Structure 1
Amino acid sequence: MTTVLHTIDTTGPGGAETVFINLVKSLPGDNPVVAIRGPGWVCDTLRKNGIEPVFVDSRGGFNVSYLADLVKIIRRYRVDVVQSHLFGSNLYSSLAGLICRVPVISVFHGFVDTNKGERFLPVKARIINSGSKKIVFVSDRLRQHYISQYGLSGAKATTIYNGVDTDVFYPRKDDSIRKELGLGPENVLIGAVGNIRPAKGYDNFLRAARIIHSRHPECRFVVAGQGSGALYDSLLELRRELGLEGIFYFIGFRENPPAVLNNLDIFVLPSVSEGFSISTIEAMACGVPVVVTRSGGPEEIVENGVNGLTVDSGPEDIAGGIMRIFEKADLGNSLKNTAFAEVEEKFSLRAMVEQYRLCHGPQKEISEGKTDYAGTW
């Protein structure tokens, strides 16, 4: 067995963090070593699963201490392979891998991991190219974007779709959220799951809700996700302006996403930019019909009219897709049944873990130091 160091520089919650934790729990290896930034949802979830993380301060610009800490951890625990997530961790882990001559698997989760204006981006890309054995992207669209726009290595790049644990996400009756909101059986509940960030497009969801509610007053709307600050305040103000108070609910982050999803009649992903969308496949696994925007990765999950609906990200488009489902019950049933059947085959946790395991390479080859991670400058 090998010793794997897992590292991420965020505290969660979120889609990338969920995948990170699932890989920590599921990838083969003796006593996984986990390095994270500090306390938070990721730390709490790891501890609930009997895993004690190591804290490393990854904040700030060029953080020499962060790099030194990773090198110390690799040497102290005799790490055989590093599995890193998101741009910052990928960069520092690649440097540490070069110093320690240990292979690194770098994972990119979204278009917003970095931007063209970032300082020294060509140099950072060369470091990741040199220090990574494999560079994993969670969708083909994301892979093509990073190769063409940022110069990451096409030869080392691969796509591995995120997967969900179908022992956790599956259809079952739950009305806890509906009861909490005081909804009756006559109400159609349409919801999204995801932290409140600009890329999530919740302003368009609010405007779509206004259109839908004007035609179908029985509809209610909910967003389950962490939110604070100026963006959240602006969404609350937009809700007030649209007259949707008591109609559209922000219920904050919930520890039990399967329960939230199993309360919904329709799931919507209103994002303007999305690397993949683990919440979409979680909804599909729970047997909820999905409407997603054409925002990057979701088009690789949903085939329009087959296992869900894909729409443009404008409010009218989102509203039209949602109304099409609940106005045509046979369509909704057909979409969710097809989607449910596809999840286990293409988007299961088992399938995802197996592909990451193959990226790590044969254990004998890793333990003997026969790796191909070193690049050229």
Structure 2
Amino acid sequence: MALKIRIAYLIDTISSDKAGTEKQLLNIIERLDRDVFEITLVCLHESPWMLRNRLPCEVLSLGYRGFLKPGFPAVMWRYLRVLNSRRFDVVQTFFEDSIFVGFLGKVLSQNKHSLIVSRRDLGLGSDEPGYHWIYKSIMPLIFGFIDGIATNAMAIKTNLIEQEKASPEKIQVIGNGIDVPVFSRNIPSIIQQYQSVIWLGIVANLKPVKRIDIFLRALAYIKDNGSGERVRAVVLGEGRLRPELVQLASDLGIAEQVHFAGALDNVNDYLHCIDIAVLCSDKEGLSNAILEYMACGLPVVVTGAGGNGELVDETNGECVPTGDPEALAKSLVKLIEAPQLRNKLGANSLEKVRQNFTWGKIIPQWESYYRSLVPKQVPGSDLIGEG
């Protein structure tokens, strides 16, 4: 019987099943064919969420606290023991710290394996830890040793080639996956209270790179130009900027129109009730929030950051320049005043998801990619590759 392809996912930690990268990874782990793939999740350290929840595969923790900490050599010793004993065929890393550990493991381990680096965004802007400049300085060296770079958007591939001098032949683009949700009949109380208005919605962590301030300023522009009385907005997300954003809404005179709903387990209750979805980030990869909007059949207005333009065009919404609240407001007003257009664009959003981004479309791409990285001499790879 053919041996399975052994995959290790190396990630800093899993802090939630709602965050973008972690949510995608957990879905991939759950959906890969277990008759073909043997999966281990290797975390640099455990999170409180991991201790409370059951994960869909074996989990190993390395006790990492930072590569500048005294315990880092012991972390690498533990990781090398895991590599040499488990004999993984593929190791895929997520986030910068794991990239660094994975690179050292590739260089130092006796186990010859394919190393994939995942790059799923264009950076965190002002939220990026200061020490990450070290990773950026050695990334060209790392790119020379790895076997593949997995990304979720053509915009990131282009950036990797142009800015980080990555080899195009090593880059594989596989989009994010999503389930089309069952229509929710749970109408949030705030929506029930104002059913005769046009609802705008944004799903985002309240951090600088997401530019919720641009959304609020666009709402103020809409109000000042006569459309504000019949428009309300809901912000679905939490973060350290919430007090500042609540104050900004008050300063702009729109506090009564904007509702900060916080972080939710299921945003679809809101998304199935709103009329237009928005994302106005300065940086993005392939946004899970936009895919959630589209899967709920919504027209979408986004900034042209990262992979946003790969999801949204004139057939299902509009892209506007980053950092421009007036342009955002004008695009929103166009849709506010055109209900038939909203319905048409929303239907196109849903069809785009069904054609390109359901898990039934995405998982076969991952399985094919992993097979391509397993040397033919690995027992079972020929048989597995016939599936």
- Give the 3 Å change call, closer, same or farther, for CA 79–120 of structure 1 in structure 2: closer
Report the Cα offset of residue 175 of structure 1: 4.3
- Partners of 1:362 and 1:121 lie apart in 2 by 28
**Counterpart for residue 208 of structure 2:** 198
Cα distance change on mapping 1:248 and 1:366 into 2, 3 Å: farther
Identity of aligned residues (%): 25
Equivalent residues in 2 for 1:273-288 (5 A)? 273-288=283-298
SS at match of 1:83: strand
TM-score w.r.t. the length of structure 2 is 0.84
- Deviation of 1:364 (Å): 6.8
Match of 1:54 among 43, 50, 60: 60
The 3 A distance-change label for structure 1 pair 23 and 92 is same
CA contact (8 A) 1:84 1:105 kept: yes
Larger-gyration structure (1/2): 2
The TM-score normalised by the length of structure 1 is 0.86
Secondary structure of the 2:33 match is coil
Give the superposition deviation at 1:116. Answer: 11
Give the one of 229, 242, 247 matched to 1:217. 229
SS state of the match for residue 155, structure 1? helix
Q: 157, 163, 173: which is aligned to 1:149? A: 163
How much is the aligned-residue C-alpha RMSD, in angstroms? 2.8
1:75-114 alignment runs, 5 A limit: 75-100=84-109, 101-112=112-123
Instruction: Check conservation: 2:39, 2:58, Cα contact below 8 A.
Output: no
Give SS of 1:338's match: helix
| 2:309 maps to 1:307 | no
List gaps (5 residues or longer) in structure 1. Answer: 372-377
Q: Of the candidates 131, 134, 138, which is equivalent to residue 152 of structure 2?
A: 138
From the superposition, tell whether residues 91 and 165 of structure 1 become closer, same or farther in structure 2 (CA, over 3 Å).
farther
Aligned length: 361
User: Structure 1 CA distance, aligned partners of 2:270 and 2:294?
Assistant: 13
- Paired residue for 1:247? 257
- SS of 1:309 mapped into structure 2: strand
Residues 138-189 of structure 1: CA deviation (Å, up to 9, x unaligned):
11111111222123332211211112123xx35x143433x15663321222
- Given the alignment, which residue of 17, 21, 24 partners 1:19? 24
Q: String of CA shifts for 1:288-326, please: whole Å, max 9, x gaps.
A: 1111111121011112x2122111231111111122112
Distance in 2, matches of 1:290 and 1:196, equals 19
Q: How do 1:1-377 residues align onto structure 2 when only pairs under 5 Å count?
A: 1-10=4-13, 11-12=15-16, 13-29=18-34, 30-36=37-43, 37-41=45-49, 43=50, 47-48=53-54, 50-51=56-57, 53-62=59-68, 63-100=72-109, 101-112=112-123, 118-119=133-134, 121-130=136-145, 132-166=146-180, 169-170=181-182, 172-177=183-188, 179-180=189-190, 183-214=193-224, 215-228=227-240, 231-303=241-313, 305-313=314-322, 314-361=324-371, 365=375, 368=378
Structure 2 spans left out of the alignment, 5+ residues: 382-387
Measure the CA separation in 1 of the matches of 2:163 and 2:223: 41
> Structure 2 vs 1, CA of residues 338 and 159 (structure 1 numbering), >3 Å: closer, same or farther?
same
Residue identity opposite 1:222 in structure 2: V
Structure 1 CA distance for aligned equivalents of residues 172 and 57 of structure 2: 29
Question: Conserved in 2, the CA contact under 8 Å of 1:271 and 1:295?
Answer: yes
* 2:47 aligned partner, one-letter code: P
Map Cα deviations across residues 230-275 of structure 1 (whole Å, 9 max, x no partner).
Answer: x333222212211222321222221113323223211101111111
Q: For the residues of structure 2 that align with 1:82 and 1:129, how far apart are their CA atoms?
A: 16
Q: Distance in 1 between matches of 2:379 and 2:135?
A: 31
CA contact (8 A) 1:265 1:289 kept: yes
* Residues 117, 90 of structure 1: alpha-carbon distance in 2 compared, 3 angstrom cutoff: closer
Distance between the aligned counterparts of 2:11 and 2:374, measured in 1? 26
CA distance in 2, matches of 1:39, 1:25: 20
C-alpha spacing 1:98/1:259, structure 2 compared with 1 (3 Å) = farther
Whether contact under 8 Å (2:214, 2:325) holds in the other structure is yes
Matches of 1:369 and 1:68 in 2, distance apart? 28
State the distance in 1 between where 2:291 and 2:149 align: 23
